[in-house]
Structure 1
Amino acid sequence: MVEAIEIKNLKKEYKNFKLNIEELKVREGFITGFIGPNGSGKTTTIKAIMNMIKYDEGEILVLGENISDNHKVKESIGFVGDVCGFLEESKLRNIKTSVSKFYTNWDENLYNRLINKFNINETLVYGKLSKGQKKQFELAMALSIKPKIIMMDEPTASLDPIVRSEFLELLQEEMEKENLTIFYSTHVTSDLEKCADYIVFIYKGKVILYGEKDEILEKHSIIKGKKELLDNETRKYLISIKANGFGFEGLTSNKKEAFEIFGNEVIYEKPTLEDIMLYYTRRN
């Protein structure tokens, strides 16, 4: 089976940072959430996949092809980021005209439908749009090129919850129609809990957790109990621990195993993706 994106032994070194991804597969037709604290390597990874930076070692295949050798593969990727490259003083109509020329599958009907849905006036200047309207326009542009993959780098970071929710709903609607693959980098993990199928957690340049979102959430558990239950042996079953004068709470990656150790002497709570990210980060 051809993966949407496949990374092997990717290395990129900067002065104070090293990206080192041994293996990463992004499943075709699913939403993969890419999470990690700022500075973990999310944007560097996306730039490498999109052939925007040269990496030191490794191989990246997009739809089974090396993107640097295949122009058609580049046409198969749409992008929505925190900051986009559109000129602030350009009219939306002019941006659309100049960009659409480069895409053989450009869908004018879809573009018009989305612009009308968002109630965006094409005669406006891009820089005059609100943050929400900018993202809506960028998403309309990205979808209208009829991509097979949409790369998203913190697309909803500056949006209010209502606009964010509308953005995600539209994305999921179009994804189901077109069998899109979405690679979604964000620190707003609550968005991914609503829509992601898979999760990749990167920290300090390395992938430290990967799998189906529901499975990750099911396997992990926050454990709360009395301090006396902690010793060198029980600590081994916890990824990291927060302790105070009253007791402790910690995260386990194996709820079943933890129950065999702690039994009913502790409270078990289902974590959020943000909880999981915080505990793994604290461990390091």
Structure 2
Amino acid sequence: MNAIELRNVTKTYPLFKVDNISLDVKQGYITGLIGPNGAGKSTLIKMIIGLIYPDTGSIKTLGSEMHNQEVNIKQRIGIVSDDCFYYEHLTIHEMRRMIASFYKKWDDKTFNTYLEQFELSPRKKIRELSKGMKIKFSLAVALSHDAELLIMDEPTSGLDPVFRRELLDLLADMIQNETKSIIFSTHITTDLERIADYIMFMNQGKLIFNEVKDDVLERYTIVKGDMDLLDSDTRSQFVGIRETAVGFEGLADNRAEAERLFGNYALLHRPSLEDLIYFTAKGERHHA
């Protein structure tokens, strides 16, 4: 069962293109969305939630295409972003009354429970909230109308480490309900290493992979060694390489082949998600 299905989706702008994306987001899992700035992540999210439409291809969100079932789909989606879409002059209580009127499944008891948990006063005006407090308010809203699909767009960037950890625990608990699904786009890749089941990696408008997180991190490897290990054949094994006066460090996308080529002459270790982003972007710049 898929929460989201994209087939041959393309969106073209004057200086950028999301190019022929096909992917499935599995229901009941947390899918992390990663990539450097300008990779196309925000454009992808906007298409999934119906803020913009693709030029070609099809998108099904929760089983339906947005242009056929927009109101129904948006009832079932929760969005948490580092952008604030609320009226700054209203209080949390006043904003809640406005938002609640849009959702058939809005639950005041759940909302008030989250306000208390997040230490948010309903009397505070939106403009008085810090960036982190606005994220908490957005999260309380998103979790109070029984959303089946939660989309997190850079939600942890303004949060202190303690609440960030609490948020990750909350998301992990939420996903125990197998009808719920989460897309989590963030530059704080350690958060995804902690809780994501799948990773989607975008770069320059293309989907590099959409796979089980642990499978990806097992397939790729970081190789460190002396410069004399590099020639045209060994260089071709790397997604990207960083060279220094004393040696090199590179990302290879085939651990078994890297072990065969370099044997005991180089140090190999499991990469982080940050390594994947850094070396892929570095390799693209090198070949541009």
SS in 1 for 2:238: coil
Residue aligning to 2:60: 61
Residue aligning to 1:27: 26
Task: In structure 2, give the amino acid aligned to 1:29.
Answer: G
Q: RMSD across aligned C-alpha pairs, in angstroms? A: 1.3
Greater shift, 144-153 or 110-119, is seen at 110-119
Give the drift of 1:220.
Answer: 1.2
Give the drift of 1:146.
Answer: 0.6
Query: Unmatched 5+ residue regions in structure 1?
Result: none
SS in 2 for 1:240: strand
Rounded to whole Å, the distance in 1 between the matches of 2:263 and 2:140 is 52
Residue aligning to 2:48: 49
1:222 and 1:249 in contact (8 A); partners too:
yes
Residue aligning to 2:266: 266
Rounded to whole Å, the distance in 2 between the matches of 1:244 and 1:250 is 11
Instruction: Give matches, 1:115-134, under 5 Å.
Output: 115-134=115-134
Rounded to whole Å, the distance in 2 between the matches of 1:243 and 1:41 is 28
Rounded to whole Å, the distance in 2 between the matches of 1:174 and 1:95 is 25
2:239 and 2:250 in contact (8 A); partners too:
yes
2:27 and 2:178 in contact (8 A); partners too:
no
Q: Give CA deviations for 1:210-262 in whole Å, capped at 9, x if unaligned.
A: 21111111111111111111111111222121122222111111111111111
Give the drift of 1:174.
Answer: 2.5
Give the drift of 1:22.
Answer: 2.7
1:48 and 1:55 in contact (8 A); partners too:
yes
Residue aligning to 2:250: 250
Greater shift, 162-171 or 8-17, is seen at 162-171
Q: Give CA deviations for 1:35-93 in whole Å, capped at 9, x if unaligned.
A: 11111111111111111113211100012111221121221110001103111111111
SS in 1 for 2:184: strand
Residue aligning to 2:141: 141
SS in 2 for 1:246: coil
1:136 and 1:167 in contact (8 A); partners too:
no
Rounded to whole Å, the distance in 2 between the matches of 1:132 and 1:240 is 35
Residue aligning to 1:196: 196
TM-score by length of 1: 0.96
Give the drift of 1:178.
Answer: 6.5
Task: In structure 2, give the amino acid aligned to 1:60.
Answer: I
Rounded to whole Å, the distance in 1 between the matches of 2:97 and 2:30 is 29
Give the drift of 1:177.
Answer: 4.3
Instruction: Give matches, 1:1-284, under 5 Å.
Output: 2-70=1-69, 71-177=71-177, 179-284=179-284
TM-score by length of 2: 0.94
2:84 and 2:134 in contact (8 A); partners too:
no
Distance 1:180 1:199, change over 3 A: same
Rounded to whole Å, the distance in 2 between the matches of 1:81 and 1:269 is 34
Query: Unmatched 5+ residue regions in structure 2?
Result: none
Give the drift of 1:175.
Answer: 2.8
Rounded to whole Å, the distance in 2 between the matches of 1:54 and 1:271 is 35
Task: In structure 1, give the amino acid aligned to 2:215.
Answer: E
1:79 and 1:151 in contact (8 A); partners too:
yes
Task: In structure 2, give the amino acid aligned to 1:111.
Answer: F
The aligned length equals 283
2:241 and 2:248 in contact (8 A); partners too:
yes
Task: In structure 2, give the amino acid aligned to 1:135.
Answer: I
Rounded to whole Å, the distance in 2 between the matches of 1:204 and 1:68 is 27
